[in-house]
Each structure stands twice: as C-alpha cells, then as structure tokens.
Structure 1
Amino acid sequence: MQPPASSAVHAPPPEVTLAQMLWGALMQRSLCVATKLGVPDLLAAQPQTAADLATQTGANEPSLYRLLRTLASAGIFSETHDHRFELTPISQLLRRDVPGSMRDLAVMFAEDWQWRNWGELMHCVMTGNAAQHKLYGMDSFAYFTAQPALGAVFNRAMTGLSAAVAPAIAEAYDFSRTSTVVEVAGGHGLLLAAILKRNPKMRGILFDLPDVLVGCGELLDREGVRDRVELAAGDFFQSVTPGADLYTMKHIIHDWDDAKSLQILRNIRAAMKPDGRVLTIEMVVPEGNEPSPSKILDLQMMIMEGGKERTAGEYEALYELAGLGLTRILPTMSPFSLIEGKIR
C-alpha cells in the first residue's frame, strides 16, 4: 500500500516560487492601476468587455485587456468565454460602495510616493533611517499636510481599513466593566462608534488633533452615537484626557519608534485611573517563520516613519518602561490583536 502523497510533492519547484515572488510587485501595481481606473465599480452591475471598459475609462483598449487578463489569471477578476470580465470575491472589495471596501487602500498603494519610498529600501536597511525623511525631508503626516490631495487618499484608506476591522475589534473585548472609554487619536471615531453601538450604556471621548475632530460629526450622527461622545482636542505627545476607565489606540503605536511610543504610553498612564486599562490595537509579529501580514507591514513602517510592528515580548518591554503591566493579548477575527495593560 502506497503512503499518502506528501503535499510537498505538489509544491511548485523553488525557481517557480521565486519567480512568483519577484513578479509580486508587478501584480500589485497592476491591481492598483485597475482600481484607480474604477474598473471594479464599472463591473458591479454586469460583466463587460475591455472595449466597453476602455470607452468608459479613456484607456487604450488592447493595453487594458492585457492588464485585466493578467489580473484574471490571479483571481482578481474572471474572464468569461466571450472575453467579458466580471468581479470575483476579491475585486468586490475594490468597489467604492461595499462594506469593508479596500478600494482606497489599493489606490494609496498606487501613488508614486509609495513606490519612491520603497525604492529606498536599501537606504533604510543600511542606515536604519526612514526613506520618507530622505526623499521629502519630513514625516508622512507633515507631507500629507503639504500635499492635501494625497493626504485625503491616505485618510480614506485608513478609514476603509478601520471600517473593515472595527466590528471584529468591538466584539473581541468584554466592555461590561467600562463606563467611559477614550479613543486616543481616534480620527472620526469609527472604532469608538462600533464599541458604543455594542455597549449602549457606555460613553466615549474622542481624542485627536483639533483639525481632525472637525470632520467627525457626520460619522457619529450616522452611527447614532453622537449624544454619547465628547470631543477632546489635544496632542498625545503632550497629554491625554484623564480619568476614563479604558483607553484605546488603534494603529497608532506602530507609527513611531520606541522613544516616541514610550512617550505616548507614559502620557496615557498619567491619565489613567488606578484601576484603568489601556488597549493598544495592533498586529503582533509572530516569532519564527510563521507567515503574517505584520511582517511586511513592519517594512512599510520602517520606510515611511521609522516605526515598527512589534512582537509580544517587545510590547511587554515597552509597557514595562511606561509603568504598565501587560496583562493579556487577545486575538480578534481580524489581523489585529488587543494588547491590554494596567498600571503596575
């Protein structure tokens, strides 16, 4: 009797795997261009030919066909027997009008500033310095202020990402002991709204820079939580609104190096009640060879800000230096984990 065939027998040879990796950036660029042209939105109603799509986008028909054929080979679109293209579950997420849309994230990755930053990866590896500073002489937040159109793309991308993961985060934690939560650097309050909707007796404080808070009213009204949210303007490098039961930060600490992250955490600790808690919401880098989106995102943070994704051990050490004890790390039904801390 023959033993069961090993899955390794069916694995592609190393040269094929390597070639696929080398071509990966080209596929990503192709996906981003199709998204920026609006192809997923145009295919929402029905399949269309490349000629139809070229007419609507102003693209060159043969070139657009070749682009879409390549993307269809990767499952991003599907080409029918009569050479029409249709959406797949992957490209559905690239539409503007679907819950959890990742369209703006794809558009952001198509922008030239992203590719220029990645072109300086060797500089980052050799010096430990961010490409963003070398190319533009400022961090990305200052750059987006100077380039408001790009800043708007970035903000929409981050809002889309928050919309995709906020429900999973809100479901993963027991908020029953919490009467007031402060969302630190919470933007327009999408995560805070998700938490409050699941906890109708809770009140929230949305803490961010004054110019960020200006645009939050529409979202809070739409989510039906405006009457339970207090707005607090400030800079987390200076201080944070005191006295809440719980402080949450999503996708903030990874923007910064250890020194600046420590400054933020110490300011939160100073604001906490003796029995208060902090939830840092980030991807946690697994040890060893385990694949994880946190590892490629770590490189993204390295080239942009000099920030980083961290392991559980690195978060524990950072918390300890801030005067906090890491009590537990809770997984969610998303790539993010909840890193809970209390005053030591």
Structure 2
Amino acid sequence: MQPQLSPSAQLMQMVFGFIPARAISLAAELGIADLLKDGAKSVQELSVATDSHSRSLYRLLRVCASVGVFSENENNQFANTVLSDLLRSDSPESLKDFSIMIGDNTQFKTWGRFDYAVKTGQPAFDEVFGMPYFDFIGINPKEAKTFNDAMTGMSIGSSMAVLDAYDFSGINMLVDVGGGHGFLLASILNKYPDMQGINFDVPALKADAEALFAQHGVSNRSHFDSGDFFQTVTTGGDAYIMKHIIHDWNDQQCIAILSNCRKGIKKGGKVLLVEMVLPDGNEPSMGKLLDLQMLSVLPGCERTRAEYADLLEKSGFALTQIVPTLSPYSVIEGVAV
C-alpha cells in the first residue's frame, strides 16, 4: 500500500498534469494502440514501426502506462489496456482523433496564452491565431478534418448513452442542428423506424453526412440541409436536438440559435440539448475542465441547470427536465411555450 502523498507532492502531481495528456496524444498520433491490437510488442518493434528513437519512445510509453494507458510486462513489452483500446482506430468508441486534437500544437499554442483569456474574457485562440477557431478551421482543411473526426469519435459513446437514457417516442421529424457527420441522428433513426430526420450543418459536411446515412441504412428517412444557425434553421421539426453545440457559444449567441429553433417549431415542440451540466460547489466534474477549454478556445462555456433554464426561457422555451446518461452528458429538455 502506497503512503499518502503530502500536500506538496499532490500539488506537484497536478501541476505536471499536462505531461500525461501530451504523452497520450502523441501515442495516439503515432498509432501505438493500432500496432498493439494483435498483442504485445517490444519498444524496438514499435520504434521501427513509428520511425521513433527507441529509448525516447520507451520513456513516453512508460508515462502512459503509469496512468493505465498501455501496460508493460515482465519482458519489457507493451500491450493494450481497456483505456488504450480507446485509442485504436477500429474501436467502436475510439477517442484517437479527439486525443490527437486536444494534445496537438494548435491547442498547446493556444493554452500558452491562457492568461489572455482569463484577464479579458475573450478566447486565447483568437489572440494567438488572429481569428476565431471556426474561421480558422474553415480555411485549414487539415485542422477541419481533425476537428470533425474528433467530434465524430466523441459522438459515438455519448450518442449511445443518450439513446439509452432518453425516450424519443412521439417525435415524427427530428432536426439535428449542427449535426456534423450525422452519427447521432442516424443512430436515433435506426432505433425509431417511424421517425424522419434532417441534419443541419455547413455545406462542406454534406457528402460525409449523406455517406454516413447510407451506411446506416437511413437515407430514405433523412436529408441534409445547410445554412448558418445564427441566421435561420430548417423549419417544421417536432423537435430540435443539439449535441455539443450550445457550449461553444456565449449567452447572446446561444439565445440567437435557440430563438431560431423556436421560430421553426410549434408550441409544445421540444428542444433537446446534449451537454454537460455543471454541479454546484467543489464537486469534481469533467465539465469544469471542459469549461476552461471553452474559455481558452471558444466564446462559450459549460453551464449549470439554472443557467440552462435562463437561456431556454429567454428563447421561448421552458426547461422541463434534465435526463442524466451513463456518459458525462445529460439531455436538457425544453418545451416551446
């Protein structure tokens, strides 16, 4: 049994927290978990396969293994664990692309000016790169692909949790606003065969979304609409769903998006927000960490129940329930009034 760390040792461990995050990200980028999918390998084998310095790669993987991502056996070989399996490209809930994005140079450059965000209330990203994040990925195809692949990877686990927790019965037409590649919508349509759906997002995602709908066998019950959700959204839905969208934007921007949804829906229709809901007090929460990511990169934030209720009320909805899931996300339900 290890002795309890002193307060100074505990704090030092926290301060070094960026190191395992960057190590995991680089291991994902090098494809280590994919190389280990058929069994353990030596560092020498892995260094050849990744064109890496053997001793340095060992030091990287030793840190990853110390936090449960990979394991080293008595023969000095590394193998996958439950956690590192999530870095495999073929994992059903792969976080490979998300891990690469969070630990890449773009993110680290942004966090280097985190002080700017705290002092001004404006995203550090804008200060570092001279433009908002979504404008930046709009002119950088590689960054855009990294972002969209990361969001799709994140979507798989949270989408399944949402499907298990929330009852979509009675919705005939579901509009997914900012639906990206369309995984959530396709998954819902698969479970509810009488439902139809519309994926609303930027034009650049149309081909990928339509391919995903075809892959899931729901092309005949879905289509893709494009536009700017700050200006308008597709009308005629019984319900509008947004996953990981509202947290990207400040209160005024959120009210604009939600108000556009309200214009497209009849009284009694629903808006469903899939987001992390912050607990009160000192309780640890992934949402509190993600909130600082929003502060650093985007104008948005994570919110409490009371803050979501306020946004909904100002947009023509009433908060009716918050449904927790087995993921960090909840389904926040509002009804049009």
In the superposition, the TM-score normalised over structure 1's length comes to 0.95
1:104 to 87, 97, 120: 97
C-alpha contact 2:318 2:336 (8 A) present in aligned 1:
yes
CA distance in 1, matches of 2:54, 2:62: 12
C-alpha contact 2:237 2:265 (8 A) present in aligned 1:
yes
User: SS of the residue aligned with 1:327?
Assistant: strand
- Equivalent residue runs for 1:252-267 within 5 Å: 252-267=245-260
Which amino acid letter does the alignment assign opposite residue 29 of structure 2? K
2:50 pairs with 1:51: no
Q: How far 1:214 sits from its partner (Å)?
A: 2.7
Q: Deviations over 1:46-90 (max 9, x none)?
A: 111111111111100111111112221221111111101111111
- Equivalent residue runs for 1:167-316 within 5 Å: 167-316=160-309
CA distance in 1, matches of 2:223, 2:66: 49
CA distance in 2, matches of 1:75, 1:321: 45
Runs of at least 5 residues in structure 2 that lack an aligned partner in the other structure: none
2:331 to 304, 323, 338: 338
Q: How far 1:13 sits from its partner (Å)?
A: 2.2
Q: Deviations over 1:139-189 (max 9, x none)?
A: 111111221111111111001001121111122221221111111111121
Runs of at least 5 residues in structure 1 that lack an aligned partner in the other structure: 1-8
CA RMSD of aligned residues (A): 1.3
CA distance in 2, matches of 1:222, 1:156: 17
Show the counterpart of 1:71: 64
Q: How far 1:10 sits from its partner (Å)?
A: 6.5
Task: Give the count of matched residue pairs.
Answer: 336
Show the counterpart of 1:6: none
Q: How far 1:110 sits from its partner (Å)?
A: 2.5
- Structure showing greater Rg: 1
User: SS of the residue aligned with 1:242?
Assistant: coil
**Where do 4+ consecutive residues of structure 1 move more than 2 Å?**
9-13
User: SS of the residue aligned with 1:309?
Assistant: coil
Show the counterpart of 1:61: 54
Show the counterpart of 1:161: 154
Q: How far 1:104 sits from its partner (Å)?
A: 0.4
Q: How far 1:309 sits from its partner (Å)?
A: 0.6
2:102 pairs with 1:93: no
User: SS of the residue aligned with 1:152?
Assistant: helix
User: SS of the residue aligned with 2:266?
Assistant: coil
Show the counterpart of 1:3: none
Q: How far 1:230 sits from its partner (Å)?
A: 2.4
Q: How far 1:11 sits from its partner (Å)?
A: 4.3
C-alpha contact 2:210 2:223 (8 A) present in aligned 1:
no
In the superposition, the TM-score normalised over structure 2's length comes to 0.97
2:71 pairs with 1:81: no
